[in-house]
Amino acid sequence: MNVTCLKDQFYKIITLAERHTSKEAHLPFLQGLLIHTKKNTIHVSSTNLDTGFEAWMPASVKEEGSVVLPAKSCVSLISTLTGEKIKIESKNNDVFFTTQTTSTNLKSYPVEEFPSFPKIKKIRSVEIPCENLSKSIASVVMAASSSEIKPEISSVFFNVLKNKIKMAATDSFRLAEKTIPFKGEEGFNILFPFKHVLEIGKILEHFNDPIVLSIGENQAVFSSKNYSLVTRIREEKFPNYEQIIPTTFSTEVKVKKSDFINGVRLASIFSGRLREIKFNIYPEDNLFEIFSKNSDIGEHVSQIPSNVTGERLNVTFNYSYIMDGISMISSSDVLLRFNGDSKPVLIQDPYDASYVYLAMPMKNI
Amino acid sequence: MTNEELWGKALTDIESDVSKANFITWFKNTAICDRLEGEITVGVPNAFVKEWLEHKYHIYILKALRNHAPETRNVAFSIIPRLSSDATKPLHEPQNKKYFAEEQPEISELVVDRETNLNSRYTFDNFVVGSFNELAHAASKAVTKNLGTLYNPLFIYGGVGLGKTHLLQSIGNEIKKSDPNLKIKYISSEKFTNEFISALQNSETASFKEKYRAIDLLIIDDIQFIAKKIQTQEEVFHTFNTLYEKNKQIVFSSDRPPKSIENIEERLRSRFEGGMITDISEPEYEARFAILKTKAAEKNLAISDEILSHIATIIQSNIRELEGALNSVIARSNLLNKTLNTEEIKNFLSKNIKPKRIATAQQIIQTVASFYNIPEKHLFEKSRRKEIVKPRQIAMFLLREDFNGSYPYIGQKFGGRDHTTAIHSYDKICKELKKSEQLTEEIRQIRSRFYNNGE
């Protein structure tokens, strides 16, 4: 193999690929990157047997070939190299990286041990628009449960309808749902491990192109013109969540997002090990108060200028659940909609109904 | 040779043929999941492994299997997600989550009333009655009409996933509907214990006692878990007495009758037995089918009777599994966006559902011997000592009933006895079973032992 390519672009690809190598030391074949050149492109692939990633970029190929390199050393090496271009050359088991000023030699792994990717019998495929997709994904994934004990909620749910896609995730304490516009022919739904969806979000930060999602029996492939990612599909059933989202509310508060975030931050300093902070809401005085108290540190109260309607309410929340929700709202105002002290609060953008975030209160203590 | 044994032997062969790293990468979490007339299906955790084994190791695997099972003609591979390592890894609930479980309720608890702990989903209306549970159902209904006077306490027992909790919750919900002012409390014995312990730690026992003794209907689920917990038992005992004296209704459930709950105090046991004891057994086919129909209707699903009937045939013991299978079939057909035909469902379910309960003759005999605490070889001897005769007859009965062994085979197995001996043993136990509750329970426990070991 003998190929020359742009260093920065190559670095971008291999850092993404490294994310899909295995972290387990006893599986050496899963810690390599397969670098493969063909015509005028260089391909990099990696797999941990859960996901499989492949990306490609233009390069000037003098001699075609493939090598497998240890991902970690390869990434560390390229990250510190300077210069615009990099030449990669293989001789027997050695791979030489040459820039204008440096020359490096890495030992390669046997190519024939590198896992081949499964072929997917495509059942259907849809094209997902990429506009703000990375952000939309991030706003949902954070609500998923990180523990695999209940795989059905350690997941992101995609409900593909004819005119929209609804993405949802929950860890049973909070729930996030984002609706994105879409034009499709038939509806279906599918559940992915949340980690895989997180990876798609990561990739989108670098390659913001429309994604084609192809679905097979146990596997799905997200692909665009620069890459493809093979993921697993969950067989479990996502909880029937839509009925949980309330439509009527007994107390509503509209606040400026920056004021609210500041108030929650202040209060969080004084909350206890349960991260509890209390909202005291007095409609008659148009008053919204955030209160917290810690017997060792002290106590704090802030009054947030706001617009309050409905009934009086005192309710306690885990501040990190509240923070997670507000930080995903992009407008300058936030709408908080309550139903008493034991039902979840709905956090929303007052001008954009496409994102819904629900968080359960704590027992009043 | 069982599938596990065969695969274990084949793996030992393969291990010596390939490098260690290769072996760990590709053969971890694999198993034989089907073996039929020389066709072996190996279950693998994901598509990558399937691809690799099919293309690189097919020959090795076939050779290794043939070494130990010469009739093997072909090997196929099939993806079984539950084999993947994150599904099999022993998982621990994050510590901090447990820490604030008490203070941070989940969204799913929305349907649960915090005062009473009742889940409004469980009512008598959506409870399917069949011959396996009609007595328990009738008794529960009767209790709601004659609270505290007719059957007190009501004690319902039965295996896992048969609807005990549903019935218990229905009683609570029914009472709540008819008189919202009555104080109702549904609690699992484990939660009761935890609450009691934390009351002890915070020296709030007085308020704990007060709270439980002012209740009109107390429902304690899975009472068997208070075994060995002496202080909790004492608390249950006193709470029971106070409520009972005031004619307040108490309902218990357990996975076994009071007699078989080990390590509980005699005075408590006798109180459990003082009212009405009723059991829920395993549903028969018709009931299973009816349950699936109800569940499908609840979820607004159009699903053909043929498919429901198929699920009802495959899953025989447990209503929870029945519902799980229904859910996964639905999820599957949603994913593929088509109605699955029977063949597809058969294939799909056989991959996803625990194989039907199977036990080998050897397992049965071993379990019986260990259950009655006698050396296995005594079962095969000519001895007519009473403590040997009974286990021997039970073993013969189980071999007939659960293993489908022929009478001559069974006779042969037990030291070359005549087939009439086997017939006699089988009939005798059958007759005894009708009379003796003790024996029924013993056999139930033996079965649960060997089936659970086999899994």
- pLDDT 10s digits, B297-321: 877 777 778 888 888 887 777 888 8
Residue closest to A231 by CA, chosen among A240, A244, A212, A218: A218
- pLDDT 10s digits, B116-156: 888 877 888 888 888 888 899 999 999 998 888 888 899 99
Q: Is the pLDDT of residue B92 over 50?
A: no
Q: Looking at chain B from residue 30 to 59, which residues have their Cβ under 8 Å from any Cβ of chain A?
A: 45-52, 55
Asked whether residue B93 is assigned to any structural domain, the reply reads: no
Sheet with A60-63: list strands edge to edge. A60-63, A2-6, A85-91, A94-98, A103-107
Strands annotated E in B80-198: 154-158, 184-188
Residue B367's domain is classified under what CATH number?
1.10.1750.10
Amino acid A333: pLDDT:
95
Amino acid B84: pLDDT:
66
Q: Is the pLDDT of residue B112 over 70?
A: no
Question: How far does the CA of residue B237 sit from the closest CA of chain A (Å)?
Answer: 30
Q: How confident is the model at residue A306 (pLDDT cuts 50, 70, 90)?
A: very high
Task: Indicate whether B155 and B243 sit together in one domain.
Answer: yes
Task: Indicate whether B268 and B302 sit together in one domain.
Answer: no
Sheet with A164-170: list strands edge to edge. A188-193, A155-160, A164-170, A174-181, A352-359, A345-349, A333-338, A251-256, A298-310, A287-294, A276-282, A313-318
Q: How many Cβ contacts (< 8 angstroms) between chains A and B?
A: 121
Looking at residue B209, the DSSP 8-state letter turns out to be H
Q: Which residues of A touch B107 (CB under 8 A)?
A: 170, 172-175, 244, 344, 358, 360
In the structure encoding, which two tokens stand for residue B437, read together? 């509750």
Q: Is the pLDDT of residue A249 over 90?
A: yes
Task: Indicate whether B267 and B315 sit together in one domain.
Answer: no
In sequence order, which residues have a C-beta less than 8 Å from that of residue A92 and are 6 or more positions away?
none
- The total of structural domains in chain B comes to 4
Q: How confident is the model at residue B352 (pLDDT cuts 50, 70, 90)?
A: low
Q: How far apart are CA A38 and CA B1, in angstroms?
A: 50
Site from B28, B79, B98, B104 to mutate, A interface, most A CB atoms within 10 angstroms? B104
Residue at a domain's end among B87, B103, B130? B87
Task: Indicate whether B259 and B304 sit together in one domain.
Answer: no
Please, which residues bridge with residue B123 across strands? none
Asked whether residue B103 is assigned to any structural domain, the reply reads: no
Tell whether B120 lies on the interface with A, counting CB pairs under 8 A: no
Amino acid B351: pLDDT:
67
Amino acid B444: pLDDT:
83
Range of the domain at B437: 361-454
Q: Computed over its alpha carbons, how large is the radius of gyration of chain A?
A: 25
B331 contacts A235? CB cut-off 8 A = yes
Task: Indicate whether B12 and B83 sit together in one domain.
Answer: yes
- pLDDT 10s digits, B330-339: 777 777 767 7
Asked whether residue B98 is assigned to any structural domain, the reply reads: no
- Give CA separation, B389 vs A8, B385, B419, B425, in Å: 82, 6, 16, 9
- pLDDT 10s digits, A199-237: 999 999 999 889 999 998 889 999 999 999 999 999 888
A49 contacts B49? CB cut-off 8 A = yes
Residue closest to A346 by CA, chosen among A215, A241, A193, A211: A241
Q: Are strands A85-91 and B154-158 parallel, antiparallel or unpaired?
A: unpaired
Amino acid B354: pLDDT:
54
Amino acid B18: pLDDT:
86
Percent of chain A with pLDDT over 70: 99
Residue at a domain's end among B323, B352, B381? B352
Q: Which whole number is the average pLDDT over B279-286?
A: 85
Q: Which of A147, A244, A318 sits opposite B104 (nearest CB)?
A: A318
A50 contacts B46? CB cut-off 8 A = yes
Amino acid A255: pLDDT:
95
Residue B293's domain is classified under what CATH number?
1.10.8.60
**How does the average pLDDT of chain A come out, rounded?**
91
Task: Indicate whether B233 and B127 sit together in one domain.
Answer: yes
Asked whether residue B395 is assigned to any structural domain, the reply reads: yes
Amino acid A364: pLDDT:
66
Q: How confident is the model at residue A5 (pLDDT cuts 50, 70, 90)?
A: very high
Helices B20-27/B3-17 angle, 10° precision:
150
Task: Indicate whether B304 and B413 sit together in one domain.
Answer: no
Q: Which residue has the higher pLDDT, B351 or A123?
A: A123
Domains and CATH numbers, chain A: 2-113 (3.10.150.10), 124-242 (3.10.150.10), 246-359 (3.10.150.10)
A360 contacts B46? CB cut-off 8 A = no
Please, which residues bridge with residue A315 across strands? A279
Give the three-class secondary structure for B10.
Answer: helix
Q: How far apart are CA A348 and CA A185, in angstroms?
A: 30
Q: Which residue has the higher pLDDT, B450 or A90?
A: A90
Task: Indicate whether B134 and B268 sit together in one domain.
Answer: yes
Task: Indicate whether B132 and B220 sit together in one domain.
Answer: yes
Residue B69's domain is classified under what CATH number?
3.30.300.180
Q: Which residues of B touch A30 (CB under 8 A)?
A: 25
Q: Which of A186, A190, A360 sits opposite B335 (nearest CB)?
A: A190
- pLDDT 10s digits, A50-87: 899 999 999 999 999 999 999 999 999 999 998 899 99
Q: How confident is the model at residue B322 (pLDDT cuts 50, 70, 90)?
A: confident
Q: Which residues of B touch A113 (CB under 8 A)?
A: 22
**CB atoms closer than 10 angstroms to residue A105:** 11
- pLDDT 10s digits, B246-256: 999 999 999 88
Residue closest to A154 by CA, chosen among A273, A46, A50: A50
In the structure encoding, which two tokens stand for residue B71, read together? 């009739």
Least confident of A186-190, A286-290, A312-316: A186-190
Amino acid B367: pLDDT:
87
Q: How confident is the model at residue B91 (pLDDT cuts 50, 70, 90)?
A: very low
* pTM to 2 decimal places: 0.64
How far apart are the two ends of chain A, measured CA to CA in Å? 67
Task: Indicate whether B268 and B310 sit together in one domain.
Answer: no
In sequence order, which residues have a C-beta less than 8 Å from that of residue B274 and are 6 or more positions away?
B152, B153
Residue at a domain's end among B320, B352, B384? B352
Asked whether residue B223 is assigned to any structural domain, the reply reads: yes
Q: Which residues of A touch B84 (CB under 8 A)?
A: 50, 232
Q: Which residues of B touch A123 (CB under 8 A)?
A: 336-337
Helices B134-145/B164-178 angle, 10° precision:
20
Q: Is the pLDDT of residue B87 over 50?
A: no
Task: Indicate whether B346 and B431 sit together in one domain.
Answer: no
Are B247 and B151 in contact by the 8 Å Cβ rule? The answer is: no
DSSP string, A229-271: EEEE---S-----GGGS-S--SEEEEEEHHHHHHHHHHHHHT-
Amino acid B418: pLDDT:
86
Task: Indicate whether B252 and B126 sit together in one domain.
Answer: yes
Question: How far does the CA of residue A254 sit from the closest CA of chain B (Å)?
Answer: 23
Site from B107, B120, B299, B348 to mutate, A interface, most A CB atoms within 10 angstroms? B107
Residue B170's domain is classified under what CATH number?
3.40.50.300
